[in-house]
Structure 1
């Protein structure tokens, strides 16, 4: 059996921090940061966000005070404002950048999970095609 040196939890966490640093310097994260800055500088976007937040507070009050008709009207207005916001190109760009960063993180998570699983199966003499581990010989 292959006797590789065991690593510590701290070594793993150090590598995770290194990976996080790499990710933070990726094209996807750079695109996200630029899109976020465009959102912050766009007055129309900021105005709509402010209106949505105001309507959300109004909806909470309407729900709390039991006025369902007013709540329905406010929720409809929130939906309209959200649709208007979503039609703005910088918002679409920002949302796309969020998807790309999330996709990258999901891909990394899947690679780590699949690789660890495969290494466990192989190190126990198991079958990667069936996903079943083998039996480790007793160590003395």
Structure 2
């Protein structure tokens, strides 16, 4: 593979983001990590909860009602009818509260939170590990005093 880039005014190679070459071994490990995460207990729980939500008629009915109310708000906003907008917003709050009070929905939201935490943790480990290596390789405890 040939690197695409150009020499900048400081004599260093400069690359456009779209031209950067990503090493095949790094991409392979990233895909392997993605597979591990996809098969994790957290993702399996999320998928089960998502399926239960999809199959729950009352929850689906409430969600459909919410979507309908959202469209009504857009219509009443275009008609400049703030009283109806306020009335529908209150109805939507009540519907959302009802949805949030359903244990199945709470379980689903928790699984989303668990996956988000897992992904953030993985990203933090990668960021911190790379940062440690960059500081060690560069040997720079302090930033350089000048750039030119």
Alignment map for 1:56-71 (pairs within 5 Å): 56-71=70-85
1:104 to 87, 98, 118: 118
Structure 1: gaps spanning 5 or more residues: 1-6, 135-140
Structure 2 residue aligned with 1:11: 25
Partner residue, 1:118: 132
User: Structure 1-normalised TM-score?
Assistant: 0.83
CA distance in 2, matches of 1:99, 1:76: 27
- For 1:52 and 1:34, the matched residues in 2 are separated by 23
- Gap runs ≥5 in structure 2: 1-20
Query: What aligned pairs does 1:1-140 form with structure 2 within 5 A after superposition?
Result: 8-127=22-141, 132=142
User: Following superposition, which runs of at least 4 residues in structure 1 exceed 4 angstroms of deviation?
Assistant: none
Q: Distance in 2 between matches of 1:56 and 1:76?
A: 12
CA distance in 2: counterparts of 1:87 and 1:66, whole angstroms: 33
